[in-house]
Structure 1
Amino acid sequence: MSIRPDGRPHVTPLPTVGDAGALHFCPGAGEQKAKNLYRNPNCAITTGTADADAGLDVVVEGTATRVTDPDRPTTLAALWKSRHNWDLHSADGAFTGDEGNEALVFAVTPAKVLAFGQGEPYSQTRYRFA
């Protein structure tokens, strides 16, 4: 979730990869999410299960920063390939897909994580990071 200029939330599903203590995602360079994050980098990432009786729902809150190290996207592209079977190519600190579309890479280091255990016994846990 990111914040629109008028304060309304903007939520879209985006696969992430975790590495080096951060979650990484890659919205298109011209997409609303990237525009929102440039204006206000505060965001939340959620994941969960459709099963109400098993699994874990997780919310990660933090600040998104653009990954600008030119070598980092190469490492992250390999992770996206192994975890999501995406073919991303590193170019100038961003990704390009097979169609040539540019995607920016952002990292969110968790500031707070909420975890909700599904099924008996139901649970809720909060983690804060310094």
Structure 2
Amino acid sequence: MGDVAARELISLADDEGNSVTVNVLGRALGWSAGLDAEIVVRTPFVSGRVDLVLSASKLESLATTLNRLDAGEDVVWMEWDRGPSISIQLTGERDCPEVVVEDESGSMVTVRVPLVLPDGWIADHRQLLRHVMDHWVPMLSG
């Protein structure tokens, strides 16, 4: 997989036009142990994006988050960090999974996106994470 494939970390989308993605943009300027990234939300109603910086430990915590989802738990990724967080509720208010993107420390905006996710989406995200970690983590220094 090349650099292009290693940029997509999270890609949650459905046939209704709702999506939440996290893309790695490159190495963070001014911090050799970080990656510039963005969360992008698109729905027929609202769209937006927010910047974030990822570290190797945040990527590793995503692996734990995926394991918890696979065990049937609702999760929050990056909850205790500065910057945005992503929550996934497996059964949301509309009886389907919901992704909640919260940017409390920046814009103070929260967006809740209901998504009908395909079978195998957790395994797909483990593979995306593996590609990102294989490509980017060796370039990071502490």
Task: Identify the structure with the greater strand proportion.
Answer: 1
- TM-score normalised by structure 1 residue count: 0.34
- TM-score normalised by structure 2 residue count: 0.32
Q: Which has the larger radius of gyration?
A: 1
Task: Identify the structure with the greater helix proportion.
Answer: 2
